[in-house]
Structures are given as C-alpha cells and as structure tokens.
Structure 1
C-alpha cells in the first residue's frame, strides 16, 4: 500500500480556501473532485471512514492477507476504449491494469460449466458452441445489447442537459430508451427464446447489478454484459490503488482528502447551500457534491423543507440487496493451488429468480455463489505475499436476516449473530471445496461480512452495495442527475448513473461537467488527449 496521502479531519482546518466540498470518497466523488481540480478549483473530499476510497478500498489482517471490498474486475479497458483514457486522466496514467485472460467469467448451472470468453466474436462463438440450436437467438441477443447501449449512452449524457433542453429534447431520448429500460431482463430474453438454460447462462453475471432477471431492467443487464464482453481487468497492486493514485493527483493539484469526517447535515437557506455540519461544527460553503447515495443525501442530510423542494420520492424503488462475503486466506500461492484469474458464478439450477428470491440464510451458498481470486489476478501479489493467496466468496445477504443485531456494536455483537456468520462460513467453505477440492487443508484465515458490516463502513442504511435497485422504475426517476433543485448541491455516485466503478466514474464526470458547464466536445477531447499521451 502507498504511503498515506490523506489527512485526518479537524475542525481547526481552514475550509474557506476550498471551492467545493465532496461528501464521500468513493470513485464518483473522487472523479468529480479530480476533474474540478484539473480545472483550477480547490476541492476538499470528506470521508467518514478511517480509510478513503469507498468500495474501492481494501483491508488487511495480521498475517499479511489483503482483500478488496467492492472491485473485483473492470471491463472496457482496451487501449481503444475511452474508459482507459478516463482512468489515465484522473490518475496521471499511474494506475496499471492486468488483463484477466481469455476467460473472464465461468458460470456453473448445476454441474454444467459455461465460459465467458473475451472479445465479442469469441463470446458469440463460445455461446453458440454450447447452444448450437440457438445460434440465431444468440446473434439477435448481441445485436439487441448493442442497440440498447447506443441509446443508453445518450440517455446518461442527457442528465447534464439544461432544463429547457431536457424538456424539449430529453423527453424524446428517454422515450426511445424506454424500449429497453422499461422492460425486465426476463421479459426481453423470453421474447428471444424459451430456452430456460440459455436464459440462465446469459444472466449468469446478474450479481454484478444485484437483481435477478425477473426484476432487473434490461438496460442495466445490457450495459453490464457489454462492459465485460471484451474481457476483464484488475488493478495492479489491488483495488485500493484506484483511490490512492487519484488522491495523489488531487494532492498535486492542491486539493485534499480528509478521513474521519462524518457529515451530519447539508445546511440550506432559501434553497441554497450555505454550509455543512461535521462533528457538530458548521463549515461554511456554497458548493457541495454528495457522493453518499440519493437516499442518504435526501433522507438524512437535508431538512424536510429542502427535501420537499427537490420533489424527491423513491418509494417506488427499493434499496439494492445486500450480500454476505467469506474472505479466505490460504497458505500456498495461487500458482501452487491452481487458482484461476477468472471469476466463478455458481447457480444450483436454471431458475435464477427462484434461487435469489427465495434465498434463506442457511442455504444461500448452496444455491448461489460468486467466487473471485484477487491474489491470482494481481501480478504484484507474490512480491509481497510469497506462499499465500486469497479468495472471496459471496452470496445473497438480506438485511432483515440480521436486523435484530443492528444496534449492537461492530465486532462486539452477541453470540447468536456470530453463530449465523459461522454457519455461513461452513456452508460457503463446502461450496468452495466442491468446486475447488485442492483448497482443503490450506485455509488458514477466514472472516465473514454481512449487510451490517456494509452499513457500518459505508453508511448505506440497509447494507446495500449497489445503491438503488436497478429496476425499470429506477430509470424513470427524474432527480437522478447531477443537478438538484438546491443551488450549490450536486450529486455523484452510482445512483446518478449505474452500478460499478465505470458507472460511478461517469457520474463524477457528469457532475463536474454540470458545474464547469463543459461542452461534450471539450469533455471527450480532454479524455482523448490523455488516452493518446
């Protein structure tokens, strides 16, 4: 890990020198801050946790093991892709990526194995090899993905239109995208085929957006499938290098990230931002970017009067689901244990909706599991951790399973809660041993997280990791855009756009664009210059 490049928050710091204050140091907030800093603005980023980075941070344990909490792979990072240029822009090109190889995901449906191969044609051919009778369906599916995403790009950039343009043109953009966003993934795929096994395989990555086919918008499915179709990449040195490299750039540009800064309120007067309250101390400011989710922002940081002025209402859209994770440390290297770089998605049978919808705490790893191998993906792991390796194994974790323990202190909850975690660990280890029997006898450290863990560190009230759930209704919410009706208050983060690193990064770019009033041509020119440099 890099030397600490962030500072401890103090009420003695002079925040009057900063033009903008960002609440939350996730990738959306850091991206917005960096774009603003590159435009000559001074930005302070406030993080309530004791390490920055949001879901891009990592954590360590005494034996030297390190695990990521949210970033397991990123797509669209080929040299020709603009996303690589965006990363280069906010990290000065210092963040490096490792290609995961020809296979980036493997989906198991029962004992049947299906590989997702990098490259559109490889992806297509491999699926046709598994389902030769469905060749036309597969061709139609990939074509539909491409059409949906062309409309989707315009849909998201409409979020920075001025109100007059949004009313005159934006409604038409939203109308045409509704063909994809207002249908569920299952509805769309069922129009293409009645082959339930093929549908299950095509939805094998649904954990990346947190909803099963019956409930998810086809728009998010299309974006996620396309995002990884050319292959997966992993940040060299681990996921926390993303935030570390960005913060280095912010420091160089005269901006700062402060930790242990728990913002309690965004203060407004006459529908204008006048300050924030941190540690019961008021900091005067006129520009705030909230990167902590729309629910946290409107339901917990703004007054009822300000909330009503914004016409904020998310009753039709629930928080995304939570998850449970088993963190595993092993006493042999990834090579010795033959751990793959690709991720594994396991489903007990082809009815994905039933597996996720009817999940129970005692059975969830038996029915659904997502397994990833960070030490195998990172080429620098063995330089610091010889003869050790790591695995993360996740499954569904509903907040209500643990709600009775929510008010108990972190790491000091009662034995009944610890028993639930221990039972999950046993069941998930058995799932791992079933898929990778060579792991037996080599597990030397384990740790389990639940939605209560997520709530403790991220402050998402229901332990969700994906903000608002990605249903068709989500795509109709008019306030999911950088500008709010409160002067001086902007939004960033995955709620504004889509789930994931690239979605949150896009939100940060859109937020900075709205503040700086950049034209789209200028935005893409900046990215291209860094991409070509």
Structure 2
C-alpha cells in the first residue's frame, strides 16, 4: 500500500497531473508538519527521537536545532541534495532521447561535469554522509529514509537518496479514504476515454504473432460474460518479434485479448522472465537490460487491527523509523548476513505507521477501531524453503518462523505505543512469500528492481527504457523510473510519451498554464 506521498501541495505540477488522472475527485490529507520521526535506541530507555519537519527551509533549520554545532554539515547536505535534485530530469531525458543520442551523450563523458545528479550517482550515501560529519547520530538522521527505497547506505546512490529527500521537502500527504481511492477515482477516467479495467484477471503470458500483426479478432458472441465481451479462440503461433496481445485468466479459463500496443506494469523481471516466450527473452537487447538490474531485498510486514480510537490508543499520523542504534549500515549488514534462526533477534529497523491515523475519514467509517502497519526487511532465502507450498498451508515450521519475527517486532512497537497492549484484535505477518503471492514480487521484494548505485548510472538509465526489443511491447511503472507512487507515475509519463511520440510533460505543463490563465481572467 501507500504510506505517504510528497509533492502533493496545491499548485504543484504533480498535484495537477494526479488531479487530471482522477478528474479532481481524489482528495489528499496533509500529514503533520513533523511527518517523520527517527528513533535511535530504546524509546523507553536511553534512546533519542529526532523529528523531520516539512518546509524547504524548515527541514534543515529544525535539523540544526536538534544538532547544535553541526550547521556546516547540514548546510552542505542541503547543497548536495538540492544540486542532485536539480539534475533528476536526467532520468527522463536519457530514457526519452533516441538510443543513439543517449549513447553519444554517455560516451562523451560530459554528464558528470554538466549534471550533479550524474556526478553524485556514483557516490554512496554512506560515503557522502560520513564525509560531512563525524557525529554518528547526525549521520543516521541524514540517512534515515533509505528504507523507503530499500538499499543499505553503503550501496545506495546519493542521487537516489536525494530524490526522496527532495520529494518530501514540502511535506507529506495521504489519500483520503486510503490508497484504494487512487484506483477508484482513476478507473472512471479510463472508462470515459473508452478503456476498461478488469479485476481478478491475471495476465498469463504475452502473445507473439509470427507475422507481426494481431492474429485474431474481437467480435460479439457468446461464451464470455457481457462485461468482458466475447473472444474467439485462436492458435498461438511460434513467437517472433511482434506482440499482438495477452492471455488473461478468467476463472478456470483463459481469454486472449488483442491490442495494437501492450504496456506492462508487471515489472521488468515478470515481463521478460515470466510473461514472454523464451525465444523473445533471449533477444540481446532484453538480455542487456536484464544484465543491468537485480532484485531488491525482500520485505516483512506486520498488520495490526486494534480496538480503540486514535486518541484512546495514543496513535499518531507521524511515521516512525526505529533503529536500535546509530550504525544503520552495520546493523543492516549483520542482519542480512545472519541465519534465519538468528534474524528475528537482530532486526535493525522498523517503519511503524498508522494508516487509520492518517486518514481523516477513518473514524467515521470505522468508529472505535485503529490500524498499524510495521515494515522491515527480510531475505527471501530465509523463507524460500516453503515457496512451492500453498498459501495458508505452509506448515508449522513456516508459521513458527514467521511468529518469531512478529513477536520480536511487536515487543519494540509496544515500547512506542504502550497503550495498544491488550487492545490487539488482529495480528498477521507477511513474509517475502506473502509479497510473492499477493503482489507477484518475484523474490518477495517491495520495490521491484534494486535501487542501488548501478541502477542510477547513466548507461543503465538509458538502457532500461519504455520501448523494448519486441515491437509494440512497452514497459512502464517503477521499474522503468524509480520506486513509489510518484516514481511509477513518472514511469507512466515516460512510457506514454514514448508510445504517443510526444513529450507529455510539455503537454501537462502547457495545460496547467492554460487553465491558470483562463482562471485568472474570470
């Protein structure tokens, strides 16, 4: 789900874009000015809590107040973050330029000289922050948000980190009614434009036509529900280089849907390794893309249902990043290197959030109830033994291992929110296998392709682009750009621009200016 989103302030280009996609029906609730808090150590013992404040000036000023004597380090951090942020447009440029032009630009070696984003992309977050200050607590606080893109500080690109810091500088927002409201208000816009959306219809495979055209027709008839229309059965010819459609599961049957363009948001690994035939997967261009990406770390989530309102339980809309110490990278490395039996005793971070507290409509819809979600990392390999077992039927050993994580996590959460003790009505843990089953993450990862230093290099950015080696097949979403709601939205803009052969960023900016001009005349 979505925990919070930045850049949704009134008047921003991204807010305008989301308003267009949802016909202005999606409402956003702002989080408090202190939208994140960083806990280093035991919250009931000698631990310290540091607060992250919204506002382009306030963000850094509040850090200076919490770290007196560190103004120079914080100012330099600000300069580097802003400098990298100004160059983030490079992500889109390299993906939208013709391949040969992007290649020329990269081979010229001018990018690091002309663009701070490219220059800082090769430096790790840990390297940059360690060079700013010897203060271990400030180092931790400057690095705290790395779990939101899933890469250890020693492996994270500082440019990637800067994207997240800049993203939340003006504050954080949550969709009123929950993340499901995004799809709820987008679907009518799609249908109004002549499209449609099907639920419970997983794509089984991408169909390839040997002649480079759709091998079949859509016609009225019988045999499928009216919602779907009716599809004639077709032979699937040996794969070549063109894609006419997808095979979708409907109940126990498969339905072939044909279209002139196929756009995949399934992720690069699912699209290439699971949905495409082997012959297409072996194409050199596709193998080149796959060679530049790796799976990100798996994740573990605890879902908590509570009896009591936000006020009764002392819950906050602020997100808490909880670390047992200030050596964030060292703790993460030791944890990920541990055995599955030891792992639960060494959990290095928890992201603790209360979705119900962030949604102003929650109390009206669910009076006297509250929720928590707690997120951490977990290696897929710790649970891989049970990957072929049916969900909910993986056996006692799996459930026992899962319970050790849930119990360890809840011990820490109870220190943060002690009033929830005795008020828990629902408690469930989700492992990497849970992610694999419900959201089709190949290795149970939260964020698709790994966001480490290699992904932020100019060559990788230019190589993983919307168009693929299979004509009429395009990639979109967070694997095309970067993780998260806003990253997936940028992936969609880049993909749509590629398909339509026009720069939609220019179109959106022009539309925004035109509507503002019209409004000012009234």
The TM-score by the shorter chain falls in which range? 0.7 to 0.9
Map 1:300-449 onto structure 2 (within 5 A).
300-307=274-281, 308-313=283-288, 314-315=290-291, 317-359=293-335, 360=338, 361=340, 362-363=343-344, 366-449=347-430
Q: 1:517 aligns with which of 478, 501, 508?
A: 501
CA contact (8 A) 1:364 1:396 kept: no
Once the two structures are superposed, residues 145-167 of structure 1 have per-residue CA deviations (whole angstroms, 9 ceiling, x without a partner) of: 11101111233233112234424
Q: Is residue 2:282 matched to residue 1:297?
A: no
Superposed CA RMSD in Å reads: 2.0
**CA positional deviation for 1:107:** 0.2
Query: Could you say which residue in structure 1 is the equivalent of 2:237?
Result: none
Q: 1:281 to 1:212 in 2, by over 3 A?
A: same
Map 1:201-212 onto structure 2 (within 5 A).
201-212=141-152
> Distance in 1 between the 2:369 and 2:508 partners?
43
Q: Structure 1 stretch 354-363 or stretch 509-518: which is displaced more?
A: 354-363
Query: Could you say which residue in structure 2 is the equivalent of 1:243?
Result: 183
Q: 1:463 to 1:528 in 2, by over 3 A?
A: farther
Q: 1:474 to 1:154 in 2, by over 3 A?
A: closer
Secondary structure of 2:313's partner? Answer: coil
Once the two structures are superposed, residues 465-508 of structure 1 have per-residue CA deviations (whole angstroms, 9 ceiling, x without a partner) of: 10111111112324321112221011101111111100001100
CA contact (8 A) 1:210 1:466 kept: yes
Query: Could you say which residue in structure 1 is the equivalent of 2:262?
Result: 288
> Distance in 2 between the 1:171 and 1:509 partners?
26
Secondary structure of 1:427's partner? Answer: helix
Once the two structures are superposed, residues 152-202 of structure 1 have per-residue CA deviations (whole angstroms, 9 ceiling, x without a partner) of: 123323311223442444666754443111211112222322322211111
**CA positional deviation for 1:364:** 5.7
Once the two structures are superposed, residues 409-439 of structure 1 have per-residue CA deviations (whole angstroms, 9 ceiling, x without a partner) of: 0111101111112222221111111112121
**CA positional deviation for 1:339:** 0.9
Map 1:42-121 onto structure 2 (within 5 A).
70-110=1-41, 111-121=47-57
Secondary structure of 1:336's partner? Answer: helix
Structure with max Cα Rg:
2
**CA positional deviation for 1:531:** 7.7
> Distance in 2 between the 1:345 and 1:214 partners?
18
> Distance in 1 between the 2:353 and 2:512 partners?
31
**CA positional deviation for 1:205:** 1.1
> Distance in 1 between the 2:482 and 2:30 partners?
23
RCO higher in structure (CA 8 A, sep ≥6): 1
> Distance in 1 between the 2:186 and 2:400 partners?
40
CA contact (8 A) 1:238 1:378 kept: yes
| TM-score normalized by the length of structure 2 | 0.85
> Distance in 1 between the 2:259 and 2:192 partners?
23
**CA positional deviation for 1:516:** 1.1
Q: 1:480 aligns with which of 461, 464, 467?
A: 464
CA contact (8 A) 1:187 1:214 kept: yes
Q: Which runs of 5+ in 1 are unaligned?
A: 1-69
CA contact (8 A) 2:466 2:498 kept: yes
Query: Could you say which residue in structure 2 is the equivalent of 1:6?
Result: none
> Distance in 1 between the 2:353 and 2:394 partners?
28
Q: 1:132 aligns with which of 41, 63, 68?
A: 68
Q: Which runs of 5+ in 2 are unaligned?
A: 42-46, 211-239
CA contact (8 A) 1:85 1:528 kept: no
Q: 2:205 aligns with which of 265, 271, 285?
A: 265
Q: 1:227 to 1:97 in 2, by over 3 A?
A: same
| TM-score normalized by the length of structure 1 | 0.83
Q: 1:81 to 1:170 in 2, by over 3 A?
A: farther
CA contact (8 A) 2:111 2:119 kept: no
> Distance in 2 between the 1:382 and 1:455 partners?
32
